[in-house]
Structure 1
Amino acid sequence: MTVATDYRALSFWHATVADDLTPRPALPGELSVDVAIIGAGLTGLWTAYSLQERDPTLRIALLEKEIAGFGASGRNGGWCSALFPRSTASLERSHGRDAALAMRRAMIDTVDEVGRVVLAQGIECDFAKGGTVAFARTEVQRRAADDDVREAERYGVDTLVRRDDGTWDPNCARLHPAKLVRGLARVVEARGATIYEQTAVTGWAAGRVETQRGSVRAGAVILATEGYGASLAQTRRDVLPLYSLMIATEPLSDAVWESIGIEHGQTFTDYRHLLIYGQRTADNRFAFGGRGARYHWGSAIRPEYDRSERVFAHLKTALDELFPQARSAAVTHRWGGPLGVPRDWHAHVSFDPDTRIGRAGGYVGDGLSTTNLAGRTLADLVTGAETPLTALPWVGHRSPRWEPEPLRFLGSNAGLLAMEAADAEERLTRRASVTARVMGPLTGH
């Protein structure tokens, strides 16, 4: 089996991207650059793009263990949304109302910023801003939908529309993530950055990155590894790799989609606690995913963890329950991968002007748009600019480290079981889950 075939098998998105996924050349040896970026996913690529916008003369190298878009950037649900891991209420409690509202406005603008860039740069990634439908299927979920609408009205930033079947949030676009990340990689290359693939980083310090292929001297170093930071010694307990899995169906007819009521450009979810997410793809498939895969001892990340027959079966059952019209649709692709979870579910951007080491991540699955905001913010920080972005409350935030094993294993998997139990509790009692209320502060709510 060829390398290209291996990478194409990563997900439905990789299988349907236009290029052949042949790896770029690895780092040939010693190198000196202005900025070295560890990771060629969306955080790294948006940072490179934004730095090029501010100073086209910068020498930028991206160091990638696999290929650009190998991880969550190329495998996610395709939601370019204004979602942030911490709720507005939680941000208000931690940072104050003004800071929380500034974060919300920045996230909402970021959805349109991604749309502006893909249009300007000719990145064909099926971007269509149709918003998110959140279905409320029980009385408990309908009350939760009402609560969300009231909270949005209280803050006066989000426009959340109450529908008979749930809510609609206009601040989300559907896209094809692998097309976005691979297209963005080509753009930053064309502007002068170099992406070294098949180049595993082993460590870093001020002004230097060590790889298995040689050392890179750099005026600034940016860590953009997200969930894969758990596999590196220096960041092993900074982030927990939580697996999220997906399925894709065969294309459905326009008539079936009309009966379902989901339009092109729309994404969807519902008000259960064990998260699900989906979209109608540009070629009329369901791309549907959710949580449910367990955390693995020692923050292990292995290819075999990308697939779980139990979780795939759960996803198909959940999809059939939501949309009986699609029960006969064959599942054509199954995949998954790790996303990055900080201990307090608070995404972050930071840059130390003394060491000139920066980092961003902890998106908890909300990274498809947040990476763009992170890249723009890091570019401001690296170049020394003081802007509204550098004043946002996630800048400089440091999350606590995760506990050592076995506490990390026990706690994370107990949290997963708690969300399953919360859904069962609501089905049985027809009241809002006490379990979910207790867990809320631990998951950014």
Structure 2
Amino acid sequence: MGCALNPAGSPTEDYRALSLWHATAGEDWTPRAPLAGDLDVDVAVVGAGLTGLWTAHYLAEADPALRIAVLEAEVAGYGASGRNGGWCSALFPASSETLAALPRADGHPHGRAGALAQHAAMRGSVAEVARAAAAEGIDAQLARGGTIDLARSPAQLVRARAEVAHARAWGRGEDDLRLLDRAGAEEHVRAEGTLGATYTPDCAALHPARLVRGLARAVERRGVRVLEQTPVTAVTPGRCETPRGVVRAGVVVRATEGWTAHLPGHERDVVPVYSLVIATEPLPEEVWAEIGLARRETFTDHRHLIVYGQRTADGRLVFGGRGAPYHLGSAIRPDHDRDPRVHARLLATLREMFPVLARGRGVRVTHAWGGALGIPRDWCASVGLDRDTGLAWAGGYVGDGVATTNLAGRTLRDLVLGRDTDLTALPWVGHRSPRWEPEPLRWLGINAGLRATTAADVEERWTGRPSLLARAVAPLLG
């Protein structure tokens, strides 16, 4: 990864080399001015990703008199917010059962109504991202084509049917999630070996770096200070410490997601696990005629080791997935962004799904990248504000963060302003996940789970039946 000098003379990365999205965001990525000495504000937000910027956006919109500063170690959109797979979906990482069991303030569980309210809020967040981006003039190349989740083996078809049955048991109708036969699935995408699929309309494909960079400019227009090249080394009540000065604030919002473990006192709150992505060259129309995705549907299949893809506005296939190891001590380093073995497996999977990409000279991959996402111990994202300390937080999205960050930002607005709303009553508000195990148990457990997930897919290919291994490790993997 290249290195350049910013105007102040300090070294900065060539941010355009981070991903396809960074390279095509239409930005020169020159860092904004850093903090220049001590600062007093009403709200300090640590992290200029989508969580931090949505929070600043909705707070500044609701109360223009608030003094708000967003502190960022690199540049806005440096992390997962700028380099994810470009899915803005209604997916939430915790199950309906988990959400229903979470306690309310009075100690009673949120129950069925709370779980359904959380799901409805997530569906609404997909629409709100599109609305807010349009209102702020952000061209995020958004297309709301929904998600097609393919079943490409008998075992995957069993899971697809079970997913729809589960949705019906929770009162979710066909307008939310429906089962498709092979012909119905191929109206969306034509992948090798398709037996059926599930389909939901609640997802938009977008350009994440365009969204997050546009949002940074939008909050600045509302008077928010975005201070880049300003790493926060410690967060305590009313105080953010940085090498460039101390920021004092009535409320401090921790919006650090995968980087949370690098803050003192938070080493075991969230683990950074890498997801890797590839992007092809723009494909000719005759290839797209064979693949489909005419409405830019996002796509995946019902395997255990997650994969995800989308058709970009300029006709590329972006395809990513898990498979990279967790690094001891929650390490995050630039050299972890690229793993040739994992990237090669992603390309092989893409060609296996769409054989047209392997014909002739095959498809050319122009970009390969990765990044860390944040996983809490119980796989349940959360948002909250401790009124006694003024410390607020949001995160633990497990890779389902593009829409969830928007819900977090609106919820933090209401919490900071002391409003009791439908959003502040949702089950995830105030939830505290248990801490991860100390090292090396954390490293051993996470990587064993990764290997078990990979092995479960192999087992199903050999047996043609749902994996017994996957069933055994499911309680450990959220």
Residue of structure 1 equivalent to 2:127: 112
Q: Secondary structure at the match of 1:128?
A: coil
C-alpha contact 1:306 1:337 (8 A) present in aligned 2: yes
Instruction: Choose the corresponding residue for 2:366, options 321, 332, 337.
Output: 332
More displaced, 160-169 or 23-32? Answer: 160-169
Q: How large is the RMSD of aligned CA atoms in angstroms?
A: 1.2
- Residue by residue over 1:128-171, the C-alpha shift from the partner in whole angstroms, topping out at 9 and shown as x without a partner, is 10000111111111111111111122222362122223121110
* Paired positions, count: 444
Q: Secondary structure at the match of 1:215?
A: strand
Instruction: Choose the corresponding residue for 1:302, options 333, 338, 342.
Output: 333
- Residue by residue over 1:300-359, the C-alpha shift from the partner in whole angstroms, topping out at 9 and shown as x without a partner, is 111000010110011001100111112211000000010000000010001011111100
Note the 1:36-435 alignment, pairs <5 A. 36-94=44-102, 95-157=110-172, 159-163=176-180, 164=182, 165-327=196-358, 328-435=362-469
Distance 2:98 2:145 in 1: 27
Following superposition, the deviation at residue 238 of structure 1 comes to 0.3
Following superposition, the deviation at residue 93 of structure 1 comes to 4.4
Distance 1:432 1:93 in 2: 27
Q: Secondary structure at the match of 1:366?
A: coil
Following superposition, the deviation at residue 5 of structure 1 comes to 6.7
Amino acid at match of 1:53: E
Distance 1:231 1:314 in 2: 30
Q: Structure 2: state its 5+ residue gaps.
A: 6-11, 103-109, 183-195
C-alpha contact 1:105 1:157 (8 A) present in aligned 2: no
Q: Secondary structure at the match of 1:233?
A: coil
C-alpha contact 1:246 1:290 (8 A) present in aligned 2: yes
Amino acid at match of 2:398: V
C-alpha contact 1:264 1:282 (8 A) present in aligned 2: no
C-alpha contact 2:58 2:410 (8 A) present in aligned 1: yes
- Residue by residue over 1:93-132, the C-alpha shift from the partner in whole angstroms, topping out at 9 and shown as x without a partner, is 4442111111100001100010110111110011110000
Distance 1:244 1:76 in 2: 8
C-alpha contact 2:239 2:247 (8 A) present in aligned 1: yes
C-alpha contact 2:146 2:204 (8 A) present in aligned 1: yes
TM-score for the superposition, normalised by structure 2: 0.91
Distance 1:171 1:41 in 2: 22
Q: Secondary structure at the match of 1:287?
A: strand
Distance 1:262 1:152 in 2: 25
Distance 2:413 2:474 in 1: 33
Q: Secondary structure at the match of 2:419?
A: coil
Distance 1:295 1:174 in 2: 27
Are residues 1:24 and 2:55 paired? no
Amino acid at match of 1:22: T
Residue of structure 2 equivalent to 1:2: 4
Distance 2:25 2:289 in 1: 27
Amino acid at match of 2:99: L
Distance 1:379 1:439 in 2: 38
TM-score for the superposition, normalised by structure 1: 0.98
Amino acid at match of 2:94: R
Amino acid at match of 1:415: G
Following superposition, the deviation at residue 60 of structure 1 comes to 0.4
Distance 1:252 1:311 in 2: 22
C-alpha contact 1:345 1:442 (8 A) present in aligned 2: no
C-alpha contact 2:383 2:431 (8 A) present in aligned 1: yes
Q: Secondary structure at the match of 1:389?
A: coil
Following superposition, the deviation at residue 207 of structure 1 comes to 1.2
Distance 1:232 1:305 in 2: 20
Residue of structure 1 equivalent to 2:107: none
Distance 1:182 1:426 in 2: 42
More displaced, 321-330 or 308-317? Answer: 321-330
Distance 1:14 1:303 in 2: 15
C-alpha contact 2:100 2:427 (8 A) present in aligned 1: no
C-alpha contact 1:65 1:201 (8 A) present in aligned 2: yes
